[in-house]
Structure 1
Amino acid sequence: MLLADYQAKGLLTVTLVNGETSTKGVYAYRGDLVLKEGEKCESSSNPNDRKPPEALLVHSAFIVENDKIVFLNGLLPKLELLPMFVEKYGADLAVDCIAILYIENIAKAMQVELSGVTYKLLPFKEGLVWNEFLEELYIEKHELKNQSAEDKVAIAYAAAKSYKAKGALVSYEEAAANTIVVVKEAAVGAI
């Protein structure tokens, strides 16, 4: 099973949801997905001990069916991480995968096709990725009420099937040429 393989390899972290939906054979995941593992810890005798990941697909949500990812959502801090995602996980994506990703360093919505999958890219400023995504799909809280955590991801997937992308389809090179510099404000506590 795909999610079990990812778990065994240490590719799933900060896991919120990882289980079967009410549809037999359909699995949901929410959490962070490792794009680039941290270096191995030299001081440990365990070969699987690593430093923290160097790159993540943050707050991801995806649906796995027939050992293929059919739906994908999450946040990439930089557009430059998208090819890294495709290299590591592209073979696990279904040909008709619905991929809607937030990217911090883009200013406008766009679409990019890589390895046969069209990624719908949305700019991200702040907030909770999952909440922003539900709002983007016009999913009301009452629609999720009394649903399991796994089925909430399945509901988002069902809504994403009819999602109309706002941005034009551009080459990855054109998208990369239109990235912006992200300036984050320092949080200040009580004085």
Structure 2
Amino acid sequence: MKFLIVGLGNIGAEYASTRHNIGFDIADGLVAALEGNFEFGRLAYHAEVSHKGKKIHVIKPTTYMNLSGKAVNYWMKELKIAPENVLVLVDDLALPFGKMRLKLKGSSAGHNGLKSIEEVCGGQNYARLRFGIGDDFPKGRQVDFVLGKFDKNEQKDLPVLINRAITIVKSFATIGPAMTMTQFNQ
């Protein structure tokens, strides 16, 4: 059985380690933990790793956030992976920092990366692991907040939180989404 794990983010040094790139950070951690390497591929950096007999393909789209659906659609078709075996790693303003929630489907909640995936891939029937980045910003400053770096206190907690996210991804691929949600949704 094959899985496609999609870390959402923006390419480029100016976006590295920003809140909006937490999906990339989790994807990087997952591939490193499973001793894989990313290679430049069509529309995305791609890595193939395995965990407990499951083949896991991990991508980081190079299309920028607003066109993520293009890369997801290409890799789903190229690898012949069904939507139920896709997991998107995404930042979420609606959740407090560090809180994570695995959902099997749902709306984009205004997230441009998820909107793009819905539009191009035809619906909301794919899993997503929402990583809370909080909403501690002044009115009208959402873009600056999302594209900003985590503060010092958050940065101290990130390694543990990213490891937790990696554990959730591995669980998704091995014991399935329902049991993973029961075990990990806070």
Q: TM-score range by the shorter chain?
A: 0.3 to 0.5
Q: Using CA pairs under 8 Å that are at least 6 residues apart, name the structure with larger relative contact order, 1 or 2.
A: 2
Structure with more of its chain in strand, by fraction: 1
Q: TM-score, normalised by structure 1?
A: 0.33
In the superposition, the TM-score normalised over structure 2's length comes to 0.34
Q: Which has the higher helix share?
A: 2
Name which one, 1 or 2, has greater alpha-carbon Rg: 1
